[in-house]
Amino acid sequence: MLVLLGTGVVANVALAKNKGLGGGFLMVTIGWAFAVYAGVIVAYNSGAHLNPAVTLGLVTSGATEFGSGVPVNFLSVLTYIAGQFLGAFIGAVFCWLAYKQHFDAEPNSANKLGVFSTGPAIRSYGWNLTTEIIGTFVLVFVVLAFGGGRQGENGGLAALGALPVALLVLVIGTSLGGPTGYAINPARDLGPRIAHFVLPIKGKGTSDWAYSWVPVIGPVIGGALAGWASLFLLPILT
């Protein structure tokens, strides 16, 4: 749901002959924010784990369980992350199906790739990585603060209510999203990028694998750092 709606708003803005064509970056950030809202709502049973960076942030914060009483261990972390990547891939496929004719009509291969994955405004891998680390740190640190420290022990993201998380994603996008398109979620970028690679998209061009590591490694580092920082900087509510 997250990736279907999030990539959908980009497709609406970027692809030829759409009613939303040229809607701009603000429309994209609003669309992604409420895609997160919808994703959190429907994923309540897992604690709304939509993002491996958030899951890893909970682990490094010392959480002992995820939402719905799921214990934090190697198997549960692996299962959650695998599900996040699979869900992102499937969401991207459904977006392509919804906009199939517009993908065919769009002459610019970069616009097609931009529906699926992020890319830098100025390509500089070190600085792009820094942006993704900072953006994801903000996301995970504030999510942990929403939940009173070890957020996973208070019922998962879903226990926070979806709207605060959506507004957090909105402000990260408008404030820090310009340099890289703010992946802040390894699954959100890599899952759809793989979909772009395997789908029979007319004139799709390259999937830009040279950049693909940045929106994966950056959020992983940022999420883990936020979890560690929460141990010292956030009070634990009991």
Per-residue pLDDT tens digits for 181-215 = 999 999 999 999 999 999 999 999 999 999 999 99
Q: What are phi and psi of 10, to 5 degrees?
A: -65, -45
Average the pLDDT over each of 1-5, 31-35, 63-67 and give the range with the smallest value: 63-67
| pLDDT for the residue 148 | 60
Rounded distance, CA 163 to CA 102, Å? 31
Name the band, by pLDDT with cuts 50, 70 and 90, for residue 221.
Answer: very high
pLDDT > 90? residue 161 = no
Round the average pLDDT of the chain to a whole number and report it.
91
SS3 of residue 165 by DSSP = helix
- Residue 31's Cβ-side half-sphere holds a number of Cα atoms within 13 Å equal to 19
SS3 of residue 62 by DSSP = coil
| pLDDT for the residue 149 | 54
Q: Name all domains of the chain by residue range, CATH numbers in brackets.
A: 2-233 (1.20.1080.10)
Name the band, by pLDDT with cuts 50, 70 and 90, for residue 155.
Answer: very low
pLDDT > 60? residue 30 = yes
Which tokens hold the place of 17? 């002959």
| pLDDT for the residue 153 | 46
Rounded distance, CA 139 to CA 233, Å? 15
Which tokens hold the place of 34? 């409420």
Per-residue pLDDT reduced to its tens digit, 77-125? 999 999 999 999 999 999 999 999 999 999 999 999 999 999 999 999 9
